[in-house]
Structure 1
Amino acid sequence: MMSVANVKDNEIDIVIGALHADLTSFMNAWKPLFSRFHLIIIKDPDLKEDLKIPQGFDLDVYTKSDIDRVVGPSVSGIFSGYSCRYFGYLISRKKYIFSVDDDCLPAKDSKGFLVDAVSQHITNLATPATPFFFNTLYDPFRDGADFVRGYPFSLRSGVNCALSCGLWLNLADYDAPTQALKPGQRNSRYVDAVLTVPVRAMVPISGINIAFNREAVGPALLPALRLSGEGKLRWETVEDIWSGMCVKVVCDHLGLGVKTGLPYVWRNDGSDAIESLRKEWEGVKLMEQIVPFFQTMRLPQTATTAEDCVVEMAKLVKQQLGSVDPVFARAAEAMLEWIKLWKAVGLRSSSPAVQK
């Protein structure tokens, strides 16, 4: 198993989706934690204003023209809005990626100390996960914890952790109906815990505060499920849920672990809940069909890589969901196109258009 001490700073990319033009406060707040790492900032192609970024960082900024140059204008539209983060996943060449949105700031723990989100994510990824038997003391590899009485010794070595899902203080990851019913509700509970999500258990994953082993599961984090209709629907709020379930199925199939809990970030207040509900409702209804599908999905043993798994999942999406709603047929096609794009950009990794 990899140890935390063996993970080097140059093995990590910080991916930031820039949906706001002025990143000054955001970058300065994160500077104590980000200054050691390389940053990939993806400007939302729909953002018209120039980005404002302070000095003192090792970073590359990618705009719409860069995205067009790498993937082509006919494809670049998939990276609009929150989904611009996926372009960062695509072009990174590092083993680990920490992804955080530009409306999040470093959190403070229950004692008032700044939370080092990068280090905690890497700790989660570099220590084993235990998906096959639940430990009631949560992560047994944290200081002060261990396996409880009755935990099978044959399972105590755990498996490699491929995905670490952090949480949010202040504005928690509530959906639009919950926000509309409880507009003043905020998350102030700092729970000092990390746990492994059990095998075959689905979990809603947000790309706002995650880290993952790109080499192991990078292709499974993908922009595929898009809703269409009147106005600009918030399809990306469903898209990362779809992406999260895809990567969880991949981890289960490949014998990899997923952890959730620490680290926290501080999430600033978002958009109007009622307006979000109007835009999200179609996606909320789709979830009732998506979850049972992923819960029962089984992939063939011939799928031995994340790329293989996504291709097999796309086949099942088309076969079992394609006739239910056209959005699923489009998702199946998008999953296959994503794998083609992932491989093509990987082959061109030395191109100046890909790595600045």
Structure 2
Amino acid sequence: MAQFCIKDDEVDIVIGALQSDLTSFLNAWKPIFSRFHLIIVQDPDLKGDLTIPDGFNNVEIITKADIDKEVGSSLTTKLFSGYSCRYYGYLVSKKKYIISLDHDCIPAKDDKGVQVNAVAQHLNNLGTPATPFFFNTLYDPFRKGADFVRGYPFSMREGVPCALSCGLWLNFADLDAPTQALKPAQKNTKYVDAVMTVPTNAMMPLSGANMGFNRELLGPALFPGLKLTNEGKFRWETMEDVFTGLCAKVVCDHLKIGVKTGLPYVWREERGNAVESLKKEWEGVKLMEDVVPFFKSIKFPPEAVKAEDCMLEIAKMVNEKFGADKNSVYGQAADAIVEWVKLWKK
């Protein structure tokens, strides 16, 4: 399976806007973004118009009114509030590939001081095969200058399509609140020039802050996550992404498509307070002790041949495992999955 070139008109860049003024963010990315169509989804709770600088002519802005018109106000609140607004962009895109970047991310520089083109690296990851069934100890064998190691079966060297590219970031470390509170000075300053395929049956968290994916292969599996019971008081998007990543990974494993992680890096600005975050995150920390064993136990039936089929099976299994209480976190998640798949089919 050879590398292939992804054309610019096959790509949408989706941005979830939780602040009104996007001037500095967009200007930082202008040399990279100018070639692509942008979908900017405004957080339904954000009032007023967005500020978009000059020079961005291929931009689609989606507001709460637009989302309400298509899905109804109840689903807008249920599925697309806060950082989850970005998922509406995934839903309405008509392109094969999506690059998702948050507004607190700007281009990073590599270990030689050269600015990283995160979009190009995501597309390179998605345009080359993944190797989930046999780990290559020299990382991604399809990168320039790399190859398969001694002992790697020739029958498996063709690889499988890469459906998800998970990027990293410098500066603000991707830590949970307890770790941040204990190590407030810890930063991620090391640029590691590596990409690897996540092995089959290995679970992983996910962040929509810096990722790319094949919408046709995986789109329905990237759903607007699990809402915690305190969502009305606190916005805790971390658990939504983590739950989404677990869904996406088990779907990729079943469909025999791959996930890559590593490059590209972005530079992420500081945000939040670890001690305050700990108050809201504890519910999610406890939740993970239930959901990870659940996802590791999932076995899909042979008739689940698409991502949307797998998601509906997950909804059934959630109800069977945790009970069908519609007021519980799990019952609400199962309902949300069904609604999400309906929207994709529509």
What TM-score do the two structures reach when normalised by structure 2?
Answer: 0.97
Identity %: 66
Structure 1 residues not aligned, in runs of 5+: 345-356
The yes-or-no answer on 1:217 pairing with 2:221 is no
Q: Aligned partners of 2:314, 2:12: CA distance in 1, in Å?
A: 28
Aligned partner of 2:165: which letter? Answer: S
Aligned to 1:137: 138
Q: Aligned partners of 1:122, 1:231: CA distance in 2, in Å?
A: 36
Q: Aligned partners of 1:69, 1:95: CA distance in 2, in Å?
A: 24
Deviation at 1:278? 0.5
The yes-or-no answer on 1:329 pairing with 2:328 is no
Deviation at 1:326? 1.6
Q: What pairs up with 1:279-290 in 2 under 5 angstroms?
A: 279-290=280-291
Check conservation: 1:216, 1:306, Cα contact below 8 A.
yes
Aligned to 1:24: 23
Equivalent pairs, count:
343
Check conservation: 2:169, 2:267, Cα contact below 8 A.
yes
SS at match of 2:14: strand
Check conservation: 1:115, 1:263, Cα contact below 8 A.
yes
Check conservation: 1:4, 1:122, Cα contact below 8 A.
no
Deviation at 1:298? 1.0
Aligned to 2:98: 97
Aligned to 1:43: 42
* CA shift digits 1:88-140 (9 cap, x unpaired): 00100100000010000000000011101011000000100000010000000
Aligned to 2:154: 153
Aligned to 1:302: 303
Aligned to 2:69: 69
CA 1:218–1:275: 2 relative to 1, 3 Å: same
Q: Aligned partners of 1:302, 1:187: CA distance in 2, in Å?
A: 43
* CA shift digits 1:299-328 (9 cap, x unpaired): 111100001010111111110123699211
CA 1:231–1:247: 2 relative to 1, 3 Å: closer
Check conservation: 2:125, 2:162, Cα contact below 8 A.
yes
What TM-score do the two structures reach when normalised by structure 1?
Answer: 0.94
The yes-or-no answer on 1:178 pairing with 2:182 is no
Aligned partner of 2:20: which letter? Answer: A
Q: Aligned partners of 2:143, 2:300: CA distance in 1, in Å?
A: 32
Q: What pairs up with 1:261-300 in 2 under 5 angstroms?
A: 261-300=262-301
* CA shift digits 1:259-286 (9 cap, x unpaired): 0000000000011111111011101110
Check conservation: 1:15, 1:100, Cα contact below 8 A.
yes
Aligned partner of 2:302: which letter? Answer: Q
Q: Aligned partners of 1:208, 1:114: CA distance in 2, in Å?
A: 18
* CA shift digits 1:147-204 (9 cap, x unpaired): 0011111111110000000001000211111111111111000000000000000001
CA RMSD in angstroms comes to 1.3
Deviation at 1:230? 7.8
Aligned partner of 2:89: which letter? Answer: G
Aligned to 2:192: 191
Deviation at 1:48? 1.5
Check conservation: 1:26, 1:102, Cα contact below 8 A.
yes
Check conservation: 1:234, 1:276, Cα contact below 8 A.
no
Q: What pairs up with 1:194-273 in 2 under 5 angstroms?
A: 194-229=195-230, 232-273=233-274
Q: Aligned partners of 1:118, 1:230: CA distance in 2, in Å?
A: 32
Structure 2 residues not aligned, in runs of 5+: none
Deviation at 1:340? 0.6
